[in-house]
């Protein structure tokens, strides 16, 4: 669906490339997260795909064809949600969406419009001017606008910035639904749990280069085969004694943390049962994407 071949970009006067020969192939129906620390090059990549910025070298192909401004039919295959919110604020929600369809030379599609307004919780606001919407609503309107022409590839640059937790989860459900219907999605995010929850494939960009590209499970496996037990406890010294030798025990806030190999969990669970009268609450955490991400992007040799 999308192929990047040797994509490179250095901004004028910049000391180093924003993108440095990036190769990436995204198959139809994928749901891919593009992660990276600030300045990694994520927005530059999305901006090249949206035509807002030009690469110095390299090619972009969409559905097998070279992406060029002069090919509007190909551009119509892509829906883009850029990071900055930008609208003509004098228009209403509905007008924005109708005009956007018009830009693609498409007739109105009332059923699709109603579907987008409903699924993005914008229906009650359809006749309100954009300037009266909250930041989170404007962000959802950006997503509706990117989908109004029924693209086959959706590019989302930080789609949940400023969206509250409840709506964020609604949005996750909607994105999953779209992906289930065959839409290819590429998403940049700083919320690692978002990538972990939604995306089957995770690509990490750092200083303009891809430093990791794996499916989610392979990624999580890189965090090592360990589990973490977090406990809120009374009588730390006694409890500590029960876990010594079964894992790495450290104090964490009002409790204790034990990191232990997955294969060695039996003695840890037995110690937890013994300690239970003194344990107010506990949770066992599996390795998280965050652990791998921090390892990959710290500026010293790591897991990669
Ligand atoms: N218009 C510009 N002119 C000059 N340099 C730029 C411009 N836009 C981005 N850069 C630089 O290019 C590099 C990549 O920036 P980019 O915005 O693509 O990163 P990002 O991964 O999207 O970061 P963030 O997570 O902060 O949004 C950075 O070093 C940035 O300072």
Q: ipTM of the predicted structure? A: 0.96
Residue 237 CA to ligand 1 centre (angstroms): 49
- Which long-range contacts does 157-163 make (Cβ < 8 Å, 24+ apart)? 157/42, 157/43, 157/46, 157/80, 157/81, 157/82, 157/83, 157/188, 158/83, 158/188, 158/189, 158/190, 159/81, 159/187, 159/189, 160/189, 160/191, 160/194, 161/83, 161/190, 162/135, 162/136, 163/136, 163/139
- Residue 120 gets the label, from left (phi > 0), alpha (psi -120 to 50) or beta, of alpha
CB of 39 shorter than 6 A to ligand 1: yes
Helix, strand or coil, per DSSP, at residue 20: strand
Indicate which residue's Cα is closest to atom 29 of ligand 1: 39
3-state helix vs strand vs coil in the chain, percent to 5:
40, 30, 35
DSSP 108: P
- Give the domain ranges of the chain: 2-221, 226-286
Return the ligand 1 atom nearest residue 37 CA: 25
- Is any ligand 1 atom within 6 A of the Cβ of residue 18? yes
299 or 251: which leads in pLDDT: 251
Is the domain defined by 2-221 classed in CATH 3.40.50.1000? Answer: no
CA of 34 to the centre of ligand 1 (A): 14
The overall average pLDDT reported for the chain is 89
pTM: predicted TM-score of the whole model, two decimal places: 0.80
Give residue 231's pLDDT: 93
The CB of 165 under 6 Å from ligand 1? The reply is no
Fold of 226-286: Alpha-Beta Plaits (3.30.70)
List pLDDT tens digits, range 255-278.
Answer: 898 888 888 889 999 999 999 999
Nearest ligand 1 atom to the CA of 36 is: 21
Q: Which of 37, 44, 191 to mutate to test the pocket of ligand 1 (most atoms within 8 A of CB)?
A: 44
Strand order in the sheet with 209-215: 78-81, 153-157, 184-188, 31-35, 201-206, 209-215
Lowest mean pLDDT segment, chosen from 67-81, 83-97, 177-191: 67-81
Paired residues of 202 in beta bridges: 33, 214
Query: 189 CB under 6 A from ligand 1?
Result: no
């Amino acid at each position: 669906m999308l192929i990047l071949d040797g994509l490179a970009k250095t901004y004028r006067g910049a000391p180093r490339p924003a993108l440095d020969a990036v190769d990436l192939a995204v198959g139809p129906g994928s749901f891919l997260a593009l992660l990276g620390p600030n300045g990694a090059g994520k927005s530059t990549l999305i901006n090249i795909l949206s035509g807002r910025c030009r690469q110095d070298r390299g090619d972009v192909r969409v559905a097998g064809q070279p992406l060029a401004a002069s090919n509007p039919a190909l551009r119509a295959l892509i829906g883009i949600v850029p990071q900055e919110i930008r609208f003509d604020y004098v228009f209403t929600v509905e007008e924005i969406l109708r005009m956007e369809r018009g830009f693609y030379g498409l007739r109105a599609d009332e059923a699709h419009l109603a579907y987008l307004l409903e699924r993005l919780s914008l229906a009650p606001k359809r006749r309100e001017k954009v300037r009266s919407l909250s930041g989170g609503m404007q962000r959802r309107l950006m997503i509706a606008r990117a989908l109004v022409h029924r693209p086959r590839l959706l590019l989302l640059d930080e789609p949940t910035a400023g969206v509250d937790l409840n709506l964020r989860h609604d949005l996750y459900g909607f994105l999953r639904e779209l992906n289930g219907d065959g839409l290819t999605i590429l998403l940049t995010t700083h919320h690692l749990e978002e990538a972990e929850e939604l995306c089957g494939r995770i690509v990490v960009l750092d200083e303009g280069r891809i430093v990791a590209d794996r499916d989610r499970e392979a990624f999580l496996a890189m965090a090592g085969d360990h589990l973490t037990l977090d406990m809120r406890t009374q009588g730390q010294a006694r409890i500590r004694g029960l876990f010594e030798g079964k894992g790495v025990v450290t104090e964490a806030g009002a409790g204790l943390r034990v990191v232990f190999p997955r294969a060695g969990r039996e003695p840890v669970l037995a110690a937890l049962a013994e300690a239970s009268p003194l344990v107010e609450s506990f949770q066992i955490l599996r390795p998280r994407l965050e652990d791998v991400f921090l390892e990959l992007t710290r500026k010293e040799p790591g897991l990669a």
